[in-house]
A and B are shown apart, each in its own frame.
Chain A
Amino acid sequence: MKTEIQNEHYLSAAAVFSGALERLARGYEADRELRKDLLQEIHLALWRSMTSFDGRCSVRTWVYRVAHNTAATYIARQRRTKLHKLATFEELADSFATDSPEKSADEQQALWRLMETVQGLNPLDKQVMLLYLEDLDADAIGEVTGLSPGAVSTKVHRIKAIIAKRLQPVGVTHVP
């Protein structure tokens, strides 16, 4: 019975956030096969965490917390066991080109730059940036991360500057 409720909670969360979790995994892991592993690990952690979810925060906050903490643990473990592989432009190009032949070259280039920027950040800045890109507002980012409103605001300000600097050469000029 308990497992059924756990399954039910997990399935409803996964249905809503599967896309966001896939993008989150992309922000952490450049290698496609390892990324599949990471994504499965995130889903496993989410499924297991549903037994301790007590509703004191929203499901969205819970899902992002579990996913980011699991991904950070995964990356730390990867670094201990082998050198963590950072993506080359060619690998990123391959990753996107096979998926999205309809996308323009500029759009793909902008996405590579964005991905490269995200993957190169330290864990906390990466987490804030990924939450920002998922369109969470400052309060929601603060709730997920535990950062003070001032710290979130400073980080978001820096993120906007970084994005503008990295994406301007390929034409993305509007950073909301």
Chain B
Amino acid sequence: MSPETFPNDAKTLWRNQPSEETVVTLDKIRDRAEKFQSQVRRRNMREYLVAPAVVVVCGFWLWFFPGWMMKTGSSFLIVAVLFVMWQLHKRGPSELLPSDAGMPLVVFHREALIRQRDALRSVGTWGLAPFIPGFVLMVLGRYFQVHSLTRTLAWDRQIIIVCAVVAVLISGIVWLLNVWGAERLQREIDHLDGLC
């Protein structure tokens, strides 16, 4: 350690750290802005391409499954998938850079936490509930109208019930995790409120 060159002040140490000399010009900023716009365009394009693919796959179910219950259930699932995709698109950021970046940091952070909390709280309504009618009809259709040819009826129905219960349990756990996540975010928001 050389006493004459060694700073004894953490602030000085921080402010005197060597520069990487990254030059940001107005031209670079314009290039960056253009890059952002193309990123948003690519993201939108991906979403527009995924939607028809989902409809084709679910449409195959509609054609493939016998019985009115399973066909109607498949139709409901197609509608549910499209609805959830629309919700994801609507709730996602419309641009990659924050438009309100001049807000005080705590306020900005709090707004972001509120958005995340509300999304988690409502995920049951827009992310899970739309699948229920289609799911119920598919299970009922499978139970009453369509049976496996390689198993006995009783054994087949037991398998259907177990699968349905597992699906309900998984959905329940997903919903609970979201509720707990929303509660954790609320505690963070309350903590921030106490600091202002």
Contacts and interface: CB of A to CB of B under 8 A. Distances in A.
A145 B192 CA distance: 11
A39 B22 contact: yes
A48 B97 contact: yes
Interface in B1-37: 1-2, 5-11, 13-15, 17-20, 22, 24, 26, 28-29, 32-33, 36
B105 A145 contact: yes
Given A65-B104, A148-B195, A47 B26 contact: yes
Contacts of A18: 24
A146 B14 contact: no
A73 B98 contact: yes
Interface in B101-143: 101-109, 112
A176 B9 contact: yes
Contacts of B7: 107, 172
Contacts of B28: 40, 43
Interface residues of A, number: 67
A79 interface: no
Contacts of A173: 8
B18 A100 contact: yes
B104 A146 contact: yes
Contacts, number: 161
Given A40-B32, A77-B96, A148-B196, A127 B105 contact: yes
A67 B95 CA distance: 17
Contacts of B107: 146
Main secondary structure of the interface of A (DSSP, over half): helix
B102 A23 contact: no
A52 B100 CA distance: 9
Interface of B: 1-2, 5-11, 13-15, 17-20, 22, 24, 26, 28-29, 32-33, 36, 96-98, 100-109, 112, 192, 195-196
Given A32-B20, A133-B10, A176-B9, 8 more contacts: A36-B20, A65-B108, A73-B98, A110-B10, A123-B109, A147-B196, A171-B1, A172-B7
7 contacts: A32-B20, A36-B22, A40-B32, A73-B101, A100-B18, A114-B14, A135-B11
Question: Considering the complex of A and B, which 4 residue pairs feature the smallest CB-CB distances, nearest first?
Answer: A146-B104, A99-B18, A146-B106, A133-B14
